[in-house]
Structure 1
Amino acid sequence: MSRPARHSKTPTSVSASSRNLSAGSAVGSGVNLLFFSSSFCDPCIQTRGVLKQVAMLLPDVKIAELDVARDTAEAEKAGIRSTPTIVIAAEDGTEVFRAEGVPTVNQVLVALAKAV
């Protein structure tokens, strides 16, 4: 990435999207939710807690965490501007939801329902 990701504590952007993540991406391998994080991001710790709760409620949901410093190509392809960012994709890889900042459990659950 050409510039470091900024960190966001509360969701600054929640949107529906039609971006298609490639078949080579983690989404293409059956992942429903991508969590873009960075090791020095305090809000990312909160987001991990939210996603842990979601995983307990919906054990079949596949979640992949990608570090923007390590997975730069994937982060650039997904247009990640800040961490944490959650991207939810339909089974075909089409992005249906994106939230920058720490989402609530309810936001993630609603977005996952839209992806089905």
Structure 2
Amino acid sequence: MSLGLWVLAGALVAGVLLSMLKAWYDGRFRGKAQVDTVSAADLGAELGERATLLQFSSAFCAPCRATRRTLAEVEGMVDGVRHIELDAEAHLELVRRLDILRTPTTLVLDSTGAVVKRASGAPRKPDVIAALAIAIDHQPS
């Protein structure tokens, strides 16, 4: 086999592995080492009684629409949970403070506004529900 074919095969394998890694990582909820807090004044809206699903979106973001539907469904399923969607471009100070690097990004806040979990990309409904359970059970210190 020629060197060119080996290089091509290596590039294909690397591409497949990277796309699999991105698919696995995209939309996963992760904890946050440093606790950020978001207030109702930051959002221009009241926080949820038990938890808040805070979504950062942008105008031409197709995954943002899917995320909006998913979070709205979960909001309807769980009492005391509020879904708030913010345009990232209109809230640049908050985007910088919370280190939002892409849209959609979803932050799961507890009842006090502390960020408990975050996901970059479109999250799956079971992952949102699991993250909400952690936020609802979270006891602020």
Q: Which has the larger radius of gyration?
A: 2
- Correspondence 1:73-112 to 2 at 5 A: 73-112=93-132
Q: Unpaired runs of 5+ in structure 1?
A: 1-7
Higher relative contact order by CA 8 Å / sep ≥ 6: 1 or 2? 1
CA 1:101–1:38 in structure 2 vs 1: closer, same or farther (change >3 Å)?
Answer: same
Deviation at 1:33, TM superposition (A): 1.4
Which letter maps to 1:30? L
Deviation at 1:28, TM superposition (A): 8.6
Is 2:47 the partner of 1:30? yes
- Out of 29, 50, 75, the position equivalent to 1:14 is 29
Cα RMSD (Å): 2.4
More helix by share: 2
- Out of 33, 39, 46, the position equivalent to 2:59 is 39
- TM-score w.r.t. the length of structure 1 is 0.81
- TM-score w.r.t. the length of structure 2 is 0.68
Q: Unpaired runs of 5+ in structure 2?
A: 1-21, 137-141
Task: Determine the structure 1 residue equivalent to 2:3.
Answer: none
Deviation at 1:105, TM superposition (A): 0.8
Q: How many residues align?
A: 109
Q: Is the 8 A contact 2:107 2:118 kept in 1?
A: yes
Q: Is the 8 A contact 1:27 1:89 kept in 2?
A: no
Q: Percent identity?
A: 29
